[in-house]
Structure 1
């Protein structure tokens, strides 16, 4: 027990007490030595000083003497940074001892000195920083004059040149005392360089070892601080014991000052970077940092005399700034670094104040040992203490961070492990062992025991990396798990290739969710079939070859949802998918691409076999009813089949679009459920036209090449008295071929872009009607079709009404034609639309009556001006008694309601006769005229002018002869005709 106490006591003495006492004694001895190294002082001699404004010939000393006699004697004089020569006279008193005085001129800013004996006029010597002659010699920081032969009083005349804030003075010294002062001066320089130099060397080693920019900055600041102390003490004429070239004195002093200013600001900013952010140091600090850069940039372009006053003001501002910010830092953070640094600044300021007082009064406020030299060393020591404290706090932060990292390493839910040489696992945390289901004490573990060879090879390859490298992997472990297959994400990285740090994360749930999301993204959740995206991915796989693609659309499926609900509809869709799948072969693929739309891709099958499979699908769906609870539903399906080889490298969406177009064609053919396209079919061109239109419309652009044609609508009561017609849109391609209205409208309707087409049609129609108003005096109405999609577009209808308000006269000629099925979809809103149009002066007609859900009842709710019978009703009228009865009923009803009626598809004389017999007002069809260009309309007087068939023309003339001239052809607009 006693031995332990002795050991502890000895440890404390040797590691704490003895070093502290020795350091304190050494520091006190150093400060005392520096403070008392220059106790001896010369006797100040009165001088008379005159600044030379113009060069003076040294031979004309009497003139100089006259100037000096007019100047009162003083102990010293300031040069105020002047670079002119200064003359001064010195009265040397009688020496109290046997040997004469040695005269010392101590200014460290003197560059040249020449002296004469004022009584005899004889030169005594010359000196500059390069050479000395006569009785002149270099002494400490300035020059001195060797003693005269006699100790009697005598007068001295000198001319001197200075660079910097010099003070002109002269002291009388005993030669031996001046020699001792010179030795003390040299010792001061050595001690400055030794003291601060050792600190700089120590900090240099610290900076190299730690690779710290802050410590590098402090090394530079210490070296500059050493030079600044030497400048203050006048020892900067030497560096580490070697004399400097005198030509370098002024430039070195100038650069020392500039660099010291910039380095001080840089060190302060770097040392307190975090603290300055905490106290919100703002634009003021940025301004001083900018001034530091500006000083370095301007330093080579300014003279020494210009640099000094600039830096005096700037330094004062920086000191105030640092004191203010240090006070804030100490108040907010209680930083030890700030305390040491503040002490360093305070010591420097107090020492400077002490020097100023001592120079002015001859008395020091504080101990004699506190001067600019001791202050420089003390300031450097205190600043070093601040840096040391910064290092200590940084080390403590690292230790705390290391402990936190170690705790985080052990507690991390992510598996962490380290790989040494080869594939051996050197270290791992508990989470890693839990993931691989291994107890840590089981013994050494290697990657080969956990992962397959490919994963091990990729991780171990990091050993050969020469720079920081990382990889990410996903894999499964080789160790069996009760929970089934598990997936892990491995991140491995290395800095030097010696050790590899890895993390292991269980991503089983993420992989399962991702797989599920990928499945949902590529499959229809209701039927389990592929969706369009999934179909594209599957067909794009390497090696897959498709031969044909079919597009199917269920007919009347909407009725099931409307009548029995969407649950019944979903059950029917699942049964439809099951029936379709039963027909397909192993490599064929089924996708649901819409509500009731399916796509089948055939692989390795000929077109004949694909067509047979499509017919089988249509038969399976149409032949057997679908059972939902106690209900039975019968459905039909329309389809389009294309040969994929004809589309070369076209994307899947283009092929689907082509099949969709064929499917829509099949829907229009009551006796054909499947339309097949093979090579040589003109469908290719039609489909390409549709694709071009779709691409243009999708960009929101109006297709180039649109133009209008007109088809006359003949009055059946007075055929030669009116010129009425319907405007029909066409598109002329660059090759001159024309795309029909059906293709244009279908493309626009399929992608919801009908407003673009209708906007162009209405605008063009209005412009044409206004331009040719004088040629259209016989025109009572001009039919203009609007699509259902446009009428449901509120922005389009608002634009339409605004356009009509600007063109009321053209509007009086227009009859807006609305499809019957569109009109009855939302009769209330449609009636409001119709009422507003009619109030503005337009006419409104109901188009394709009889093609949809025809009912005489809804005519009571739609106050339209005209009714246009669908062509299917008109054709039947000439061929069957029942058909004739229908149009006669319609004609009578329309007439009773005050409307006008128009019969479409008037292809021959029999049909026109039937329309006349039924009381229909107007006829439109090829029997009267095909659509013509606008120029032909302008050249005609009536609709009868276009009839080419002699029999029809004769019949029309008969109608005209029997016409009632008082009968109105059409209700006149309240706005009148165009003019």
Structure 2
């Protein structure tokens, strides 16, 4: 009979019970032994050989059972051990009945032993055989011996035992079979889950409700370079790159989602070798009846993908040959700086550089030699500027340098240094390469503003002036003579700023910021003005001079003190939850006097630090990220909030958002002013809002000047709006009357 036949399939499903384990046989043997011992006790009427024969049957049954266990598998020996118990039960029943003086014996119950054994371990056919043997065991003495020891009434007992063996035992067998099948399926399912968990190609971690690792698979341990037991008992965030808390934020959001939903994020883990591993997390809440609310986290190593994406982003903005910024990146940086000049005043300079006689190198020595020379000159340019400056290859042998904070003299010095270094390097070369020099045109953004012309075009024309003047020279477009010498103008403005600080000639105006969800004016940005007779001078005309003269920390300290005075009045008289945004110059970041001014003013005016929002532009942050981070950390611990201005103007924005403490993200006006008309701007706004929301930060849209723009901001989930549609900057009294007074029109208070 093969294993595919019906009789063997149930037997296979019963696994170890089919053969009958020693643990299962032991209670049957104990009961059988007690039966034999009972009949040996006096009085004993039958000959000794009856008990001896019963003992021999019992011994034979035990021997057959042991033999079947040793042979393994299911053979004819397995049911034979049970069949031998029938003559044993018949002999014991006869001996016990004779001792009591009749055929009725309590030992008849021993017939249950083989029937139950085969119900648990046998096949249906074997159970039917057992039913027949039980009938034979009871009927044979009646037929052979007869009255008076066995009367006809014993047939009733025979019929009932036959019914038990034929009807009840198969039912019991089916129950045992179902239990065995369910146990087997449960074990198989458990084993399958274990294999899926352990053999998963990606990392899997099981966390308790606190985020502590309960179990991890091998792939997860490999990612962090540890053995699985070394990770158990630690919070998953302990394996994150120091200084980041994305895992804690992720687990907090996972705890809030509905059962069965998953939450995804990306973060970096620090492996045992000190290397950062970029991973993608996908987490799901898994209820457990014993351990409670568990979280299963799937961890995928995406380091290669991140490197690939970073490489693509780098190639999109950088020249393949030299590694410098390309024209696309340079034009983007130039546009950002022009927008900054519009807000804060013109500063910085642009250098345009073209190599003289470079074509002869390509024609004579070949393009490989020309490429190598370009790579070398790119290195010279990098070493000639600061890390905050931007150098780019615009194409061919033309380069551009953006000096965001340089004045005219500074631009001249940098240009002359570049010309000198290129000429010095060429002097070490042979042949026509010795003739390579550089012609540089330099234009300050102030000069470009005076000429009302494109700064790049002016730099290009100035560069050609240098070439026409004999090459290997620097030509600087002078700023207008109508304003007199630059040094005299700077000294004049410096004295005016110092006088304004001394005599309180600065004024603060407030521009409203509206909570889009409620339509309320819940905060405002403080804007600085300089009072000159009847004229209010905007900061674009004096801030850059204050920065260069080292006066900006004093100006910012004045602004902070007077802003908190206004804030105290606003919260006391009009709105106890009102907040003010105060801009800080990059020259004030990290200055001890600014920190003291903020702390003293908060205490003096008794203002809740949470009502003060310190706003820093990207230009201020990029000057020294570490310094800005430390300053933000100290002010945050004090209770102040921070806003990052001009967000989205470049890839650097995401770097600052990651490494600095910010509560508000002010979307750059470039992406807001035309968001109702441009699908690209709307997509960028949606992305910025999504990133900010995931990081737990609020967003502010600047340059909201049209109802259509406001509608788009509301649809895309922007939190706050600022611009001429919401309200123009106004002095304190006018601001309160228009936006906070109870009598203010509804249209003014909720646009």
TM-score range, shorter chain: 0.3 to 0.5
Length-normalised TM-score, structure 1:
0.30
Length-normalised TM-score, structure 2:
0.38
Structure with greater helix share of residues: 2
